[in-house]
A and B are shown apart, each in its own frame.
Chain A
Amino acid sequence: MTNPTSSGITAPQIIVEDLVKRFGDFIAINQVSFSVNRGEIMGFLGPNGAGKSTLLRVLCGLLHPNSGRAIVAGIDVAQDPEAVRRRIGYMSQKFSLYNDMSVVENLRFFGGVYGVSRRDIQDRLHFAVDMAGLGGREDSLVGTLAGGWKQRLALGAAILHKPAILFLDEPTSGVDPSSRRRFWELIHSLGEDGVSVLVSTHYMDEAEYCHRIALINHGKLIALGTPRELKRHALDGHLLELSGERIGTAIATLDQSTGMRNVAMFGSSLHALVDDAELRIPEFQAQLAAAGYVGITIRRIEPSLEDSFVQLVGGKK
């Protein structure tokens, strides 16, 4: 579990070591360790109730860990949560701005409580309004805005004080796909500015946007790495796609082949998990030709994140 990141390598902005959070007998976070670098976008992927929100809340200082350490921006969260809060921005899972106040009133309020100086507030307001694409709607009541606007505004409110670290808890849930895409562009531009972003999601496609992904299930960190690493790592072997006429009937023939780990129908083609693609592709070609199949193409494909996720979650239960 090394940290290859796209941005510059500096001291990690977040270090989590053996973190445990219990609610009574229920262990919500079980011995989780990882670190996040400056400018890195780290995704928490996992089913509902896996412990993603709890983990983010511990890192924000909203919940006290039972054991282990969480160092955010160089500060132990359990020791000095207030110092951490000055350096972070947070978007809770539930929309938490004030619906009975306008866009600008909300931003001014959060600017005030985050201690943005009065000299800077006007600039930051403009920045947040532009970023959220809310120009011309500054005086609309927040309650009247559509989901996508609300989420972007909440992000704008969370970065008014230029935090070094952002915690976003399922920021795009209930938002239409085009708004989600736009939201992720915003997250990436923040990452390019050096902001470390920890974002939880249960959308597989969104996880692909992250520099690294932490897979979380039942409070445990079950895998951590870049999307590419995860996909390779999760599947023990190489994935082949076989297509051509009557290919579906070839399952029985292929199933017993050497090096075959698993083969299944996938739409109109077959997906086969093998030990070594280089070795097996010519073998299968020959085997199928001998069995009378013609015009069969076999190629190695990248497994999807969903494949690996299902494999990992299922395999480690």
Chain B
Amino acid sequence: MKWRRVRAITIKEALQIVRDPRSLMIALLIPVLQMFLLGYGISLDVKHLPLCVYDQDKTTQSHDLLHRFSASPYFDTRPGLHNYAEVGRGLDTGNCRLAIVIPTGFSKGLADNGGSTVQALLDATDTNTASLAANYARAVIAGYSAQVQLDAIQSRGGQMQTVTPVEVRARVWFNEDLISRNFIIPGVVAMVMAIVGSQLSSLTIAREWERGTMELLISTPVQPMELMLGKLLPYFMVGMLDACICLALAMFWFDVPFRGTLIALFFTTGLFLLVVLCIGYYVSVSIRSQVGASQVALILTMLPTTLLSGFSFPIDQMPPVVQGVTYLISGRYYVTLLKALFLKGAPWSELSAPIACLTVYAAVMVVLAARSFHKTLD
């Protein structure tokens, strides 16, 4: 391998990147756009659920209960409804995801100490949200019940022990505030890097075929490995610039805590970028059209990184076969590493296994991509 030739190709690619400022702008702006879109768009926190109430009782007690709902950050109480038809319409149109109906005699039941019921109607088209909403509603009502009980005992002049026999004291580690964004943003970074990296390199060989420059290029003594390294080097630079933008947005805009070392962060990001660049290059070699190559590269990198990296679905809850498949997904290692670095600040000893896997992965991809290119028109 001659560095003279690698250098010539790198300079040529860099010139072509610079000569095409529109593509360069896209390469730098798309990650920003995706970070904002996905960073804000994907949130697993259920907050501000639209809530409708149909208060048939209209007493102080029913008002107290409803007040607890409107005070909760999880619900947004909509103006009161006056009949079941309106409740049905509210759920149908999606105006409310949860409807609370307080029946007539609610306060009477409480006063008679016979107990009362409240009806909750849930829109379960999104089961996850529905079950979370049901739990939140139960918690609100349980809080109210406890208060009612306490008030009743106290009004009778009694004393009550408010000690629960066993109490759970949960202390949450790594994402203390349970902000799902902290958990999601590192995954978004991985996804954006997968998309950008593969898109950058997916055009590079296909373009030479489409413009007719490939025939001359392969008539020169340039070696497949030289061609690949020379071509990927400038895209690696652009990709790392994109990585810096994404990581800076994650830390400083989305305030995701960062507890690892920057060296580890950039090293692993570089490895992952190399993998996705090689995938894009491989596709570009196999599919000699720019449009086709970019589409296939997008699917090959974005889909597995989204679905199988542990970014959106926890790997340990997948069926064993699918879990096995995830070991073949480079995004799995990168997402693991990013979460470890951002949220845990894990020591090198813990990072070494996924880093080793990613290194092997990158080495294999470099060889595969370089060898996929044949200097022939046959």
Interface residues of A (CB under 8 A from B): 57, 60-64, 81-82, 85-86, 88, 90-92, 94-101, 105, 108-115, 117-118
Contact = CB atoms under 8 A, between A and B. Distances in A.
B86 to A, nearest CB: 65
Given A63-B378, A96-B212, A100-B20, A112 B11 contact: yes
6 contacts: A62-B218, A62-B377, A63-B377, A100-B16, A105-B12, A118-B4
A250 B2 CA distance: 74
Given A62-B376, A62-B377, A101-B15, A113 B215 contact: no
Interface in B196-247: 211-223
**Residue of A57, A64, A112 with most chain B CB atoms under a 10 A cut-off:** A112
Given A64-B378, A96-B212, A117-B4, 8 more contacts: A63-B376, A82-B221, A86-B221, A91-B216, A96-B215, A108-B11, A114-B221, A115-B2
Given A92-B216, A96-B215, A98-B16, A81 B375 contact: yes
Nearest to A105: B15
Contact of A113 (B214, B220, B377): B220
Nearest to A54: B377
Given A105-B15, A115-B4, A97 B219 contact: no
B376 A109 contact: no
Interface string B4-25: 1101110110011001100000
7 A-B pairs closest in CB distance:
A112-B8, A96-B216, A90-B219, A94-B212, A92-B215, A100-B19, A113-B220
A62 B375 CA distance: 7
A96 B213 contact: yes
A114 B220 contact: yes
A60 B219 CA distance: 6
Contacts of B15: 100-101, 105
Contacts, number: 85
A109 B221 CA distance: 13
Contacts of B223: 82
Contacts of B212: 92, 94-96
A266 to B, nearest CB: 42
Given A64-B378, A98-B213, A101-B16, A113 B219 contact: no
Given A85-B221, A109-B8, A115-B5, A101 B19 contact: yes
B281 to A, nearest CB: 18
Range class of the B interface residue count: 20 to 34
Given A82-B221, A98-B12, A101-B12, A90 B216 contact: yes
B220 A110 contact: yes
B230 to A, nearest CB: 9
A85 B376 CA distance: 12
B221 A115 contact: yes
Nearest to A109: B12
A85 B5 CA distance: 14
Contacts of A112: 4-5, 7-9, 11
Contacts of A95: 212
A101 B218 CA distance: 19
A92 B218 CA distance: 11
Nearest to B212: A94
Contact of B217 (A64, A94, A113): A113
B9 A113 contact: yes
Contacts of A111: 8
A100 B23 CA distance: 14
Given A82-B221, A98-B213, A101-B16, A113 B376 contact: no
B221 A113 contact: yes
Contacts of A101: 12, 15-16, 19
A64 B11 contact: no
A103 B212 CA distance: 18
